[in-house]
């Protein structure tokens, strides 16, 4: 081969290697811990250049973990947490560390509520040991032993980093990678699921919420509006009744499906209970079932007990809708859903409220007008009768 060609090829190869060096991206398995620590399982977390290492001990259900942030700044704090209730930092059981002004690392546990103060506190599970270090290669690491329970063996995990302010952890960013640093960890099989998308359990919760919001929170109120107002219009004939039955029956059917998904979610989440939401759901399902059964016992319009049946039917119906709307908002709080979900449902309620107000005014106007017309006709008939009697007398 021509020497000039060989020289050209060598030069091109050297130039490419200098401009595009091979990737040196670190993975969890590449890392060597100090003190001869080793971990059998590890995962590269998808956000914030963080890694989770652990050894799980099934005999006593404990896990030795190391949460590591590479390229960490000593002016930042880091945190890793478990949250069996939801894939959010709020309500989580967290491990936190940061470097103090004297250069030592401070590691502690804290429970994070909706307005976290990041102050030390106990967790819902035991943490027999927790330490931290800042390595010479720029890794900030939390070491801890966790006493797990059944619901923590596979659960939500969240992790964060944020700035130090005045010697205390400050507020972290809520956008970018900080807003996506959530996932699911299984300590037994070693899997980690990123939930920058949506986890299976979250999808089930969303399905449960949509089914119940549409059924108890939309179809049922629409059915009541139809029954209360359309029957005033003579042109509606018996159609209003069939529309009412269709709305209520379909609402109940969809509601049963939503109720069943809630039962399934509860059985899949042992140890996690939402007392108010669950109890209201049971009451609503019971009242809805009574309404359906009441159709089978509906007396004829001229029956002497029809009045009492109407009182029962209306009372149960309105009570069911009011409790349902309250429980839907209770569900929004549990899901900690984005505001646009709650805003959308509030918009639906406002629309139904406006329709109800307009129909209430219109139907009252029609009823009052009919009464006046009937009263005028009655007086006219009375005058005609009186005049006829006078003529007969004469």
99 bridge partner residues? 105
- Is 57 one of the annotated binding-site residues? no
Q: How many CB atoms lie within 10 A of CB 378?
A: 10
106 bridge partner residues? 98
Alpha carbon distance 202, 281 (integer Å): 19
- Is 244 one of the annotated binding-site residues? yes
CB 47 within 8 A of CB 197: no
- Is 172 one of the annotated binding-site residues? no
Q: What torsion, rounded to 10 degrees, do the Cα atoms 4, 10, 13, 16 define?
A: -70
DSSP-derived secondary structure for 29-42: GG---GGG---SEE
- Is 208 one of the annotated binding-site residues? yes
DSSP-derived secondary structure for 280-338: HHHHHHHHHHHHHHHHHT---TTSTTHHHHHHHHHHHHHHHHHHHHHHHHHHHHHHT--
| 3-class DSSP assignment, residue 221 | helix
Binding residues for heme b: 208, 244, 277, 313
Binding residues: 208, 244, 277, 313
């Amino acid at each position: 081969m021509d020497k000039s060609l060989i020289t050209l090829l060598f030069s091109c190869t050297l130039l490419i290697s200098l401009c595009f060096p091979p990737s040196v991206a670190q993975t969890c398995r590449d890392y060597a811990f100090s003190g001869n620590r080793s971990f059998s399982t590890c995962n590269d977390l998808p956000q914030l250049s963080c890694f989770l290492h652990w050894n799980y001990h099934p005999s006593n259900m404990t896990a030795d973990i190391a949460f590591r942030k590479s390229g960490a700044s000593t002016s930042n704090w880091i945190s890793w947490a478990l949250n069996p209730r939801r894939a959010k930092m709020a309500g989580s059981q967290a491990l936190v560390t940061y470097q103090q002004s004297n250069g030592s690392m401070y590691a502690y546990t804290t429970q994070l509520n909706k307005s976290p103060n990041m102050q030390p506190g106990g967790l819902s599970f035991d943490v027999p040991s927790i330490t931290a270090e800042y390595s010479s290669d720029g890794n900030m690491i939390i070491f801890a032993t966790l006493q797990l329970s059944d619901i923590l063996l596979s659960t939500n995990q969240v992790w964060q980093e944020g700035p130090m302010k005045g010697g205390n952890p400050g507020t972290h960013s809520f956008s970018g990678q900080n807003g996506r640093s959530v996932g699911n960890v299984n300590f037994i099989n070693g899997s980690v699921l990123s939930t920058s998308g949506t986890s299976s359990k979250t999808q089930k919760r969303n399905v449960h919420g949509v089914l119940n919001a549409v059924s108890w929170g939309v179809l049922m109120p629409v059915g009541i509006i139809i029954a209360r107002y359309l029957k005033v219009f003579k042109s509606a004939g018996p159609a209003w009744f069939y529309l009412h039955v269709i709305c209520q029956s379909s609402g109940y059917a969809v509601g049963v499906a939503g109720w069943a998904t809630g039962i399934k979610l509860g059985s899949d989440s042992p140890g996690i209970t939402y007392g108010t939401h669950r109890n209201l759901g049971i009451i609503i399902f019971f009242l809805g079932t009574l309404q359906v059964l009441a159709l089978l016992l509906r007396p004829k319009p001229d029956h002497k007990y029809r009045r009492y049946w109407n009182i029962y039917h209306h009372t149960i119906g309105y009570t069911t809708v009011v409790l349902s709307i309250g429980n839907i908002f209770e569900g929004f709080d549990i899901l900690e859903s984005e505001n646009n979900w709650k805003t959308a449902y509030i918009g639906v309620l406002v629309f139904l409220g406006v329709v109800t107000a307009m129909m209430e005014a219109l139907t009252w106007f029609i009823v009052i007008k009919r009464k006046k017309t009937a009263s005028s006709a009655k007086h006219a008939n009375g005058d005609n009768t009186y005049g006829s009697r006078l003529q007969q007398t004469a």
